[in-house]
Amino acid sequence: RALRLLFLLFAGHKPWIETEYQGIVMENDNTVLLNPPLFALDKDAPLHYAGEICGFRVHNGPSGSGSVQFEAVVLDRSTGEGLVRSKEPLDCESQREHSFTIQAYDCGEGPDGVNSKKSHKATVHVRVNDVNEFSPVFVERRYEASVPEGRLFDRIVRVEALDADCSPQYSQICFYDIITPNVPFAIDNDGNIKNTEPLDSKRQRIHTFWVTAFDCGKNRAQADAQVVVTVKPSCKPGWIGWTKRVEYTPGSGSIPLFPSLHLETCEETVWNIQATVELQTGHIGKGCDRDSYSDRSVRRLCGAVRGEVDLLPPPSPAANWTSALPTLPSSDSSLIFSFNGSNHVAVVPDSVVSALSGDHFTLQLWMRRGGANIQPATTQTRGNRKEEETIVCSTVRNDDSFSHYSLSVHGCRLSLFYWPDVSAARPVKFLWKLEQVCDSEWHHLSLSVQFPSVTLYVDGVTFDPALIHDNGAIPNPAPRQRMFIGACWGETNMLRISSRLLFKPLSTENYHGLLSGVTVRPGSVEPHSVVECLYACREGLDFGDLETLGSGMKVHVNPSQSVLVLEGDDIESFNRAVQQVTYRNSLRFATPGVRPLKLTTSLRCFNEESCLSLKQLEGYLVVLQPDAPQISLSGVGPHLARPAPEFEGPRGVPLFPELRIVCSLSHAVNTAAQGMEGGALMSDAVAHTLDGCEVQPLGEELNPEREELLVDMDVVRERGLEIINTTAYIAITGAESISVYEDVLRSVRYRLAKGSARFERRFRLSCSEMNGRYTSNELTLEVNFLHSLDSLYHPSHLLASQQQFLHPSHHAGELSGHTLPNPHRNSVVPGAATVIIMVCVGFLVVMVILGVFRIRSIHRRGEGARGGAKEGSSQWDDSALTIIVNPMESYESRMGISADTEGEGEEDEEVAESPDDASDDQRIIIKKEGRDGNARRY
């Protein structure tokens, strides 16, 4: 009994094993190698049975299949050594990791295992090691590619093979190999195939070869792959049909810029194409082709409200404050003034400033920063800041107070300093940050002030200001009217301009740059539509027909129509769209010159690495010289003869009552195609708009006390035209139709004061269009004043009568061409005087005939008596016979008076005149020069 109790005491321990085991088994083996080795220990040893291990039991792991696939056996019961093995072959490709638990049992109290003890459960992780049982397999059995000839490619096509083994060692493809010998291709370990020499389609169009693959266990692919490379003839991707020079004939409307242009991608698959066409017109006038009329005429054509005041008018006697400013030529016929930042300042007279009162006004101007030869502006740094430059500075009276404003630029900022009441209100500064201010290009600024509201338009686009209340110490402007262009004034730093002392503040500098068309219109602000019209370009890029756009195509044009962007995804649709890009210029007389063109293309491909890159194309558009219009003035003179009393009437005499103005274009026409030799000139009548006509007296200017030119001012004002009427000329300006100018010029009358009539006065008429770019012929009209006989005898006309006889041939020729609409009414010789003159002429003819016969008879008798002796000195030489006829004879002939001129060309005539047959105003003077050189008068 004692031994039994002792045995029970020592046999009560459980077997012990490790808590976790890591195992490895090969795919082709079933024994699992554990780490650490499987050993079960029991503290009951060395007791028989109780200290021995009789078995291991496998339980399911997390996957639930461990007990099915694995088993554990005891190798030595006394040491507790065990072995784990798989019941069936394992597949690494189907399951690479296995987990399960294991438990050890001792033998208990006897051979039957009564009262056996079991250990805790230990976790076993088994990894199945791969065996290189699979060979590589190509994804495709045949690979095809096409490449253009003559080029080396980094990659033509990529082949790919896969291995079904589960481990990286045997599943990875270590290298590829081209097994076809002597081919100009090579393959790298990643399967990329490239050509080793440029391919020639003429020598071999198609290359076929085989490639194989090896995994890292050196297993070769089960089946090799075939590669077919087709060599395409030479293809250069890019635009085909690009014409560097494009010519535009003014008046052609819209023309396609790229009628035969198309994009060649060399079969490269693209999914997005974007092309940007840029037309550069910055050097044409103020940025592009606009109406070539004066700024005032353009404002009227755009429907602007009248009443604007030109602050920089062309220098003239009436506007002389701009005469000291230098001007620059402009291709758009506008007057450009240059300001150098120091002494170039325009002081507007007080008479002009007084009309600009009020806190509602519109200030408009064209501005370009910098001098005449300027470079693009650079970004200013903090250490290189410039002072504020004043463009316009003005103080005006508003009823019983004064308001002040100044427009300035500072770097890339534009500011309006406004003081509604210099004696009470606080000043307000409106500030805009604009790139247009400092880009050294022409820009149109329109500032509409309706205080406290201020609207700025730059090139027709609205910009909102940042409102700033300036609380700094600012000296109040002097309460007096004054306006400067290009500078301002203050209480310090006197500036001498044109021998006058002006004040300039410390905080501002004078403007340095170009200005044109500076106007102010007091009252209501300018509508936006008018501002857009003033800036509108008449040339630019356009798209021919939007309905022809294919699906997926987009077109965008910027507001100034200088940049056009096309975007699409189909090559054919894109090519058709590019051919629809046009240039249009609505000016019949476009500014000739060169406009640079640029075409930038961006492509996006499915394969970004091999996507095409196209260089920028550059060309130019040449606007040819337009056909000069012929402005023809006709229907007048060249002589206008009227009785003097008609000119002395209250309305005078119209100078151009039947004036006709015709504008036409003459251009060469090729007639060779019509079977005609040479060419011909064709003239097309065109509807034109004149912008000025001038009537100028030739010789001495008009005497304001004795003569004047009158114009129907109602017609001038109704049409919105402007007129300058001086003693030297009458100038009518403003863009209007030809019919309007005809009506105005037909109303021009010439009037004389009583007793101021003379015998002639000459005038010259000329017209122009496109701001003087094209001029008409000069139409000269000679006005003759017809006097009655009573007035001819008047002493005041004695000198005029003598002048007629001093220049008989001149007056005879001119009077013969006079226009006499009513000869009976305007005849200078009454009926009684006509009868007397006819009798005198008849008597004179009889006397001349008798004298001729007498001279002939005497001559014959003298020859017979002397018998061929020398001719005496008393004999006449009739080789030089001069007859001076009264110019009145031309008018007498119109009344039916004729003179017998028989024998006028006969030799050896002798003429006698009775002093009673002619008066001082009606006589014929016959001059006979003898052979001795002495002249005799009869």
Range with the largest mean pLDDT of 333-337, 804-808, 856-860: 333-337
Q: What is the pLDDT of residue 839?
A: 76
**Helix runs in 11-57, H state only:** none
pLDDT band at 669 (very low <50, low <70, confident <90, very high): very low
Bridge partners (DSSP) listed for residue 229: 145, 207
What are the pLDDT digits (tens) for 77-110?
Answer: 878 888 888 888 887 877 888 888 898 888 877 6
392 vs 407: CA distance, rounded Å? 5
What are the pLDDT digits (tens) for 367-411?
Answer: 888 765 544 444 443 434 467 889 999 888 877 778 888 899 988
Q: What is the pLDDT of residue 63?
A: 55
Share of the chain above pLDDT 90, in %: 18
The token pair that represents 468 in the structure block: 């700033």
Cβ proximity of 129 and 85 under 8 Å: no
What are the pLDDT digits (tens) for 295-329?
Answer: 667 777 776 667 778 888 888 877 888 888 998 87
pLDDT band at 781 (very low <50, low <70, confident <90, very high): very high
Q: What is the pLDDT of residue 79?
A: 83
Query: Mean of the pLDDT values across residues 460-471?
Result: 76
What are the CA-CA distances from residue 645 to residues 247, 410, 621, 710 (Å)? 61, 67, 63, 17
Q: What is the pLDDT of residue 332?
A: 57
Cβ proximity of 649 and 749 under 8 Å: no
- Top-confidence residue, 845 or 911: 845
Residue 482, Ramachandran bin (φ over 0: left; ψ between -120 and 50: alpha; else beta): beta
Share of the chain above pLDDT 70, in %: 73
Q: Using CB atoms within 10 Å of the CB of residue 732, give its burial: 0 to 12 exposed, 13 to 18 middle, 19+ buried.
A: buried
- Top-confidence residue, 584 or 675: 584
Shortest CA distance to 63 belongs to which of 95, 24, 38? 95
Q: What is the pLDDT of residue 354?
A: 79
Range with the largest mean pLDDT of 89-93, 748-752, 808-812, 874-878: 748-752
Residue 241, Ramachandran bin (φ over 0: left; ψ between -120 and 50: alpha; else beta): left
Rg of the Cα atoms in the chain = 56
pLDDT band at 194 (very low <50, low <70, confident <90, very high): very high
Q: Is the pLDDT of residue 509 over 50?
A: yes
Other C-beta atoms closer than 10 Å to the C-beta of 768 total 17
Concatenating the DSSP letter of every residue in 607-623 gives: SGGG----PPEEEEEEE
Query: Mean of the pLDDT values across residues 515-532?
Result: 80
Q: Is the pLDDT of residue 159 over 50?
A: yes
What are the pLDDT digits (tens) for 826-865?
Answer: 333 344 556 677 778 887 888 888 887 777 666 665 555 4
pLDDT band at 886 (very low <50, low <70, confident <90, very high): very low
1 vs 9: CA distance, rounded Å? 13
Q: Is the pLDDT of residue 756 over 60?
A: yes
Helix 798-806, helix 808-815: angle, nearest 10 = 100
Concatenating the DSSP letter of every residue in 62-118 gives: TTS-HHHHEEEEEEETTTTEEEEEESS---TTT--EEEEEEEEEE-TTSTT-TT--B
Query: pTM surpassing 0.75?
Result: no
371 vs 337: CA distance, rounded Å? 10
